[in-house]
Structure 1
Amino acid sequence: MKTPKRIQPLVEEGLIDEVIRQLMSGKEATVYVVRCGDDVRCAKVYKAATERSFHQAVAYQEGRRVKNSRQARAMEKGTRYGRKMAEEVWQNAEVDALYKLAAAGVRVPVPYICFEGVLLMELVTAADGNAAPRLNDVELTRELALQYHAMLLNQVVLMLCAGVIHGDLSEYNILVDAQGPVIIDLPQAIDAAGSSVAADMLDRDVTNLANFFGVVVPELLTSQYGKEIWNLYKAGLLTPETPLTGLVAAPTEVADVDAIIREIALAREEEEDRQRRLAEAQA
């Protein structure tokens, strides 16, 4: 196919030899299958902020650092330079998260380089060698749903132990290769220690998994793995080997009304996003 304009600089630099085909287009980027020498990889071309349907909400930017105070001030003022810096921070968040999570043993694509707003990384493939399907497109039995849910909970724990929360985890950004689920799409990754909404985001990620697999395994719909994982993390007791029950003791303190309002707002936003993705998938 014709080389997209955004990928041309990587071709000129010798990083990509050929663009084979478009793999998918989402709310934040378009992904292409490319050839790099003898290897087939994928190139994720980030969309400009004005083209993204996923906005850089304060909740996702909180805790992210820039190189110096001049850049921080420019980003706060929204100057042209500041917007450029904000885009770099947004894109680098995924690269940084991928490297950190891969080192922690999380199943994510191997990143190679991010150049001119294009992330070059491993192409996750299925057993037949073709691009791996999204979890949403996999037919599940009860046994397989339980297996994948357990594997993904372990991945969530591994991520949190590395200080990272996905922030937008759902069946639409999980691929399934021959060994099981692979987590993708991390530009919205959250610093667990630096975000005031980290607990809410973690619980939403885990609830999304329960809602998806709960169609096949209904008892997951009443589980409380997200809150259990966060409580263990806050207490300094969470490790990748920590057994989980999905149960949380009823609180004895007065309810945090602000936190409840935040959860409702996040749930509403997630449902709107889910409906939009479903419409896109059916289009």
Structure 2
Amino acid sequence: MKIPKRIQPLVDDGLVDEVKSQLMSGKEASVYIVRCGETIRCAKVYKEISQRSFKKAAAYREGRKVRNSRRARAMEKGSGFGRDQQEKVWQNAEVDALYKLAAAGVRVPQPFGCFDGVLLMELVTDDEGYVAPRLNDVLMSEEQAIEDHLVMMSYVVKMLCAGLIHGDLSEFNVLVDEYGPVIIDLPQAVDASANNNAEWMLTRDINNIRDYYAQFAPQLAQTEYAKEIWSLFEKGELKPDSELSGIYQEVETAADIDIIMQEIDAARAAELERRERAKEASEGIDDSKFNWSES
């Protein structure tokens, strides 16, 4: 296929030898299947800020630190230079998160670097070499749902212990290969300790995953992993190998209307996001019918 303009510099520099096809196009980026030597990988091309429709980006940027004081001041003022620097921080956030989470024991695609807004990374495939399906497209038994849900909760815990919250986790941001779930799409990952929205983002992430698996294992709908995990985190007792029960005993206090309204708003936003993801999934380009292991 014709080489996209943003990928051409990588071809010129010998990082990419061939662009085979477009895998998908979303709100934040377009993903292409590329050949690097004899290896098939994927190239995630981030969209320009004017084209990106990711909502409430400021809420996700909160707490992100920039060491260079000039860059930080420019970003705060919102100047042209500052917006350019903010874009670089946004794009580098994903590759930084991928390296950090892989080191923490979370299954994510292996990154190979970010070059001028193009992230080169591993193409996740199933046991037959086809592009791995998203969790949204996978049917499973009750037993498998319970097992994979526990795996996902362990990943959420490891992420939190590494200081990160995905921030947009759902069945649309998880791939499933022969070994189980693989978490993807992390440019909006937030600092768990520095972001004021951390708790409700974690709660939304966990409940999105819970609700999906509960379609196959209804008993999961009654679990309270979000409250249990956050409670342990706040008390400094959360460890990467913490044993969870999914049970949380509420402390009876007067209702905090602000928190309740925040949770309602978050739930409404999550549902709108879920519908948009479903629409994208139905309209996106699906290359899963091609077997790239033989290319």
- Shorter-normalised TM range: over 0.9
SS in structure 2 at match of 1:251 = coil
Are 1:10 and 2:10 counterparts? yes
CA contact (8 A) 2:26 2:280 kept: no
- Pairwise CA distance, 1:130: 1.3
CA distance in 1, matches of 2:112, 2:71: 26
CA distance in 1, matches of 2:13, 2:282: 38
User: What 5-or-longer segments of structure 1 have no aligned partner?
Assistant: none
Report the AA paired with residue 186 of structure 1: L
**1:70 matched to which residue of 2?**
70
SS in structure 1 at match of 2:262 = helix
Cα 1:30/1:202, change in 2 over 3 Å: same
What is the 5 A alignment of 1:107-256?
107-256=107-256
Report the AA paired with residue 57 of structure 1: A
CA contact (8 A) 1:126 1:176 kept: yes
Report the AA paired with residue 122 of structure 1: E
Can you list the C-alpha shifts for 1:96-151, whole angstroms capped at 9, x where unaligned? 10110011111001111100100001111110111111000111211111111111
CA distance in 2, matches of 1:54, 1:121: 22
CA contact (8 A) 1:49 1:55 kept: no
Report the AA paired with residue 249 of structure 2: A
- Pairwise CA distance, 1:56: 5.0
**1:83 matched to which residue of 2?**
83
**1:279 matched to which residue of 2?**
279
What is the 5 A alignment of 1:37-56?
37-55=37-55
Deviates more, 1:123-132 or 1:213-222: 213-222
User: What 5-or-longer segments of structure 2 have no aligned partner?
Assistant: 284-295
Deviates more, 1:167-176 or 1:136-145: 136-145
CA contact (8 A) 2:98 2:111 kept: yes
Higher relative contact order, structure no. (Cα contacts within 8 Å, ≥ 6 residues apart) = 2
**1:266 matched to which residue of 2?**
266
- Give the RMSD, CA atoms, in angstroms: 1.2
CA distance in 2, matches of 1:225, 1:121: 31
**2:288 matched to which residue of 1?**
none
Deviates more, 1:157-166 or 1:251-260: 251-260
SS in structure 1 at match of 2:172 = helix
CA distance in 2, matches of 1:279, 1:208: 17
Can you list the C-alpha shifts for 1:66-114, whole angstroms capped at 9, x where unaligned? 2322222222222111110110010111111011001111100111110
SS in structure 2 at match of 1:171 = coil
SS in structure 2 at match of 1:188 = coil
Report the AA paired with residue 269 of structure 1: A
**2:293 matched to which residue of 1?**
none
What is the 5 A alignment of 1:21-32?
21-32=21-32
TM-score by length of 1: 0.97
- Pairwise CA distance, 1:255: 2.8
TM-score by length of 2: 0.93
Residues matched between the structures, number: 283
SS in structure 1 at match of 2:181 = strand
Report the AA paired with residue 125 of structure 2: T
